[in-house]
Amino acid sequence: MRNSILAIAAIAAVITAPVAAQAQSETVAVVRDGPVIAVEQRPAFREYVVRERVPTYTIPDRVIVGGVLPEAGITYYDVPQTYGATPYRYTVVNGQTVLVEPRSRRIVQVIE
């Protein structure tokens, strides 16, 4: 009986290990892909977005870091060099400016 329980526990550990590793690598990828807008530059960046009159897109989901935006219907814009070199694009969703990884459409920063 004891050996059966140990065997089941070992099998469960082997099955769940790849899932845990994948979740960790996705989290690290969001953080290490490139710089985001620095805290001291956020007010100026928000003013820039307002001056540019970037339209806001409405989605039914909450706007959170790690959320993925819809494939169609949203336009992404380059972040000006003045706010730092970044591989990300920005857009406005539900009234909030966000930085997005363009290939995956994953939100990497919500500019508050």
Which residue matches tokens 């995956």? Answer: 104
Which of these, 68, 81, 84, 83, lies nearest to 93 by C-alpha position? Answer: 68
Predicted TM-score of the model (pTM): 0.68
Can you give the residue ranges of every domain in the chain?
A: 1-32, 34-111
Is 3.10.450 the CATH classification of the domain at 34-111? Answer: yes
pLDDT level of residue 21 (50, 70, 90 thresholds): very low
Most confident of 11-15, 27-31, 69-73: 69-73
pLDDT of residue 3: 63
Model confidence at 12, in pLDDT bands (50, 70, 90)?
low
